Chains A and B, each alone.
Chain A
């Protein structure tokens, strides 16, 4: 891929763009050359940018007939060796669940952007929400781990989409990037990073001959080397429980155990690399605001206001949602008196937080649904009332 073409397609280094557009920019910078998708508010601008820019860099954009086909297309295209992405919102993400599991089971690197709106069902198309946080974790059936990142602003939407591609390539698995309708349509300044400012990870390509190639065989790091379709290697790709050769062994407890536990362990053994979070004023805080996504900016204001009033408030901002930042939450639970979790849903991430806290401090929820962001004043009022 010609980096100069990407730079030329993206345009000026400093731009005033939407969160959706920033996700698309991040994908192109990460080396994405294939996008299969179906338009849906509030995610359509991701697809629009990809449709406009991918042809300019020699990539391919396909508008599929629906979201089931969209994720199928990016999984298939990924097997040619391409970096691939789709974008959608809640109703489309629901349709993608079966193939999300297929991507996990077949160890297919790809990135899915979900610009969340409220549900259930068609819900509020033009408004933001974070109601798919648990669906991301358990929406597809069966035992599995998933990687999901939650940017808090437009610049981070670009930066973390690059990170998502890197995780997808490094761990050979689908990676989710979740923003919401508010952030997806919000504009902020974005500075497009230079190539020497970004790390780009590419999947490990098999370097053995086709005769010696074991498609799902692993050494130390639990992630098999990849052989793209068309390179002369034979790979049988199936969602059935399969052995290292990729052949179905759907009745074998042993093969299933080995495969599914390896798929989980390749993520769980690398949480030091994958689990990202930010702490603000946590050194001496007695009340901890736990936040993620666009709500984090609101909580940042509340921390500043509370500190001005002499209340020891800090913030833990979850950047990686899955796998969950258990250690950070457990550590802070020993220090603080209370955690206040502000969510644009009826309480989803509060559940793994309570599990990690395990009764060591009070955990309270400020739930907001209907499309509006939390106001700083309403979180501050709760802090004053509950302190």
Chain B
């Protein structure tokens, strides 16, 4: 079963790091097959950034996303660009503070990853909040795998912060996926 995940936003948000952690969770900790690719502009911050993970239980030929099963968008520009490449039965997760105008044919889950990260003390972990939410919504990897991969991928002094970010994101994802979204994390099914 092949699952294609695209995480996009702008440079500096850590979308590539998020994809690497997700791919590593699958390939190293869940013993699945995974490929991770990315594209970004020459700017260190602010340019468009896109990262992809393909996860499968068998060999992967074409290594990138053809049509996404999951799109996680952390900028309006990225959402506008990639929403048409989501499978009809796929799901979209957005940070609603950054993707104000989010309408698509697929169900859209709103997880304010940047605001949650700021409340945890550092907006830099917004990407980790997002992969926590993504794991809860789309189940590409196990919780144990995403936690182990996250902790192995971040500097020692930030492990606690990143673990809290992952947990909070996961809970927010569970809340929106079960339809019990709080005001801050809501599923926007009417938008179809």
List, in ascending order, chain A residues with CB within 8 A of B34's CB: 16, 187-189
Are A297 and B28 in contact, with the CB atoms below 8 A?
A: no
- Besides A185-B37, A297-B60, A302-B61, 20 more A-B contacts (Cβ < 8 Å) are A16-B27, A126-B42, A127-B39, A182-B37, A186-B36, A186-B37, A186-B63, A187-B20, A187-B23, A187-B34, A187-B35, A189-B34, A294-B63, A300-B59, A301-B61, A301-B62, A304-B61, A373-B62, A376-B62, A376-B66
Are A16 and B36 in contact, with the CB atoms below 8 A?
A: yes
- The interface size bin for chain A is 20 to 34
- B interface residues (Cβ-Cβ under 8 A, vs A): 20, 23-24, 27-28, 33-40, 42, 59-64, 66
Interface of A is mostly: mixed
Assembly CA distance A126 to B47 (angstroms): 14
- A interface residues (Cβ-Cβ under 8 A, vs B): 14-16, 125-127, 182, 185-189, 294, 297-302, 304, 373, 375-377
Are A186 and B61 in contact, with the CB atoms below 8 A?
A: no
- How far apart are B140's CB and chain A's nearest CB, in angstroms? 14
List, in ascending order, chain B residues with CB within 8 A of A373's CB: 62-64
Supply 28 A–B pairs (Cβ within 8 Å), ascending by A: A14-B28, A16-B28, A126-B40, A182-B37, A182-B63, A185-B38, A186-B36, A186-B37, A186-B63, A187-B20, A187-B23, A187-B24, A187-B35, A187-B36, A187-B37, A188-B35, A188-B36, A188-B63, A189-B27, A189-B28, A297-B61, A297-B63, A298-B62, A299-B61, A301-B61, A304-B61, A375-B66, A376-B62
Assembly CA distance A300 to B60 (angstroms): 9
Interface of B is mostly: mixed
Which residue from chain A places its CB closest to the CB of B42 in the assembled complex?
A126
- How far apart are A22's CB and chain B's nearest CB, in angstroms? 13
Are B62 and A297 in contact, with the CB atoms below 8 A?
A: yes
Are B37 and A298 in contact, with the CB atoms below 8 A?
A: no
List, in ascending order, chain B residues with CB within 8 A of A297's CB: 60-63
Assembly CA distance A267 to B39 (angstroms): 39
Which residue from chain A places its CB closest to the CB of B33 in the assembled complex?
A189
Assembly CA distance A269 to B58 (angstroms): 39
Are A16 and B61 in contact, with the CB atoms below 8 A?
A: no
Which of A16, A126, A298, A304 is the one whose CB lies under 8 Å from B24?
A16
- How far apart are B131's CB and chain A's nearest CB, in angstroms? 14
Assembly CA distance A16 to B60 (angstroms): 15
List, in ascending order, chain A residues with CB within 8 A of B64's CB: 373
Assembly CA distance A367 to B48 (angstroms): 28
Which residue from chain A places its CB closest to the CB of B61 in the assembled complex?
A301
- How far apart are A78's CB and chain B's nearest CB, in angstroms? 34
- Listed residue (A16, A297, A375) with the most chain B CB atoms within 10 angstroms of its CB: A16
Which residue from chain B places its CB closest to the CB of A16 in the assembled complex?
B24
Assembly CA distance A300 to B56 (angstroms): 15
Assembly CA distance A187 to B52 (angstroms): 10
Are B36 and A375 in contact, with the CB atoms below 8 A?
A: no
- How far apart are B142's CB and chain A's nearest CB, in angstroms? 16
- How far apart are A371's CB and chain B's nearest CB, in angstroms? 9
